[in-house]
Amino acid sequence: MTRQEALDRGLRTLAEIDPDIAAALAEAGAPAPRVLEPGFAALIRIIVGQQVSTASAAAILQRLTDAGGLDPERFAGFDDAALSAIGFSRAKMRYGRALAERVLDGSLALERLRSDAPQAAHAALVAVPGIGRWTAEIYRMFALGDPDIFPSGDVALREGIRMLRNLPDRPDLAGSDTLSAGWAPHRSAAAHLLWRLYRVRRGVAVLGADK
């Protein structure tokens, strides 16, 4: 089954049991899955996207790609001046180097994560400095294809829940976890739809719906 087929099936299932999901699907249309090839390049892309706008992340990624920095060995060779010129903050320089080091020395075996249990894959990812829950969950969703992820650390998703449920306020992280629990085991499908809903209503590109 392709990612698109799995996403469509998840949304059909959710729409049958949740009228708000059905309404959002009718309003926003079916989303396409965001798919990243597993590996260093995918993770460094996600790290770049931490706490910056989609447009800013895209500009930084273009400069990083042009410099060959999607390769861990090449990235590890960049000095502070080179990374600063690309657009990396001091913190993200540390995070990128920590990731490159662990990929190169084999302590983070990204290929093995494809076959690891979800909890084991998550634990291996968050053991790397700079990879927290949001980064690990986005990688698991986009690169590993986990069908049951809801990255509550994503502000656009929490705003999507507010829109979906017509709430007066955006839920916090714990509230988002609670409100999304009923969508298991298709939480990734719900997340893609809420990114799409946000994109349609706000007219602003977001991580899971940048087109």
Residue 211: pLDDT band with limits 50, 70, 90: low
Rounded distance between C-alpha atoms, residue 15 and residue 183, angstroms: 10
**End-of-domain residue from the set 119, 142, 165:** 142
Residue 15 lies in a domain: yes
* 103-162 confidence digits (pLDDT tens): 999 999 998 998 889 999 999 999 999 999 999 999 999 999 999 999 999 999 999 999
Residue 8 lies in a domain: yes
Residue-range definition of the domain harbouring residue 191: 3-34+149-202
Q: Are residues 64 and 104 in the same domain?
A: yes
Rounded distance between C-alpha atoms, residue 163 and residue 160, angstroms: 5
Q: Are residues 165 and 117 in the same domain?
A: no
Q: Are residues 49 and 133 in the same domain?
A: yes
Residue 209 lies in a domain: no
Q: Are residues 22 and 102 in the same domain?
A: no
Q: What is the CATH number of the domain that holds 136?
A: 1.10.340.30
Q: Are residues 107 and 164 in the same domain?
A: no
Q: Are residues 44 and 128 in the same domain?
A: yes
* 70-112 confidence digits (pLDDT tens): 999 999 999 999 999 999 999 999 999 999 999 999 999 998 9
Whether the per-residue pLDDT at 210 is higher than 80: the answer is no
**End-of-domain residue from the set 120, 142, 164:** 142
**End-of-domain residue from the set 94, 116, 142:** 142
Whether the per-residue pLDDT at 163 is higher than 70: the answer is yes
C-beta atoms surrounding 166 within 10 Å: 7
Mean of the pLDDT values across residues 7-26? 98
Q: Are residues 49 and 123 in the same domain?
A: yes
Q: Are residues 137 and 154 in the same domain?
A: no
Helix 19-28 vs helix 155-165: crossing angle, to nearest 10: 110
Q: Are residues 80 and 47 in the same domain?
A: yes
Provide the number of structural domains found in the chain.
2
Whether the per-residue pLDDT at 206 is higher than 90: the answer is no
Q: What is the CATH number of the domain that holds 189?
A: 1.10.1670.40
**Which pTM was predicted?**
0.94
Residue 208 lies in a domain: no
Q: What is the pLDDT of residue 191?
A: 98
Q: Are residues 127 and 161 in the same domain?
A: no
C-beta atoms surrounding 191 within 10 Å: 29
Judge whether 54 and 207 are in contact, CB under 8 Å: yes
Q: Are residues 54 and 103 in the same domain?
A: yes
Mean of the pLDDT values across residues 8-28? 97
Q: What is the pLDDT of residue 120?
A: 94
Whether the per-residue pLDDT at 53 is higher than 90: the answer is no
Residue 102 lies in a domain: yes
Q: Are residues 122 and 164 in the same domain?
A: no
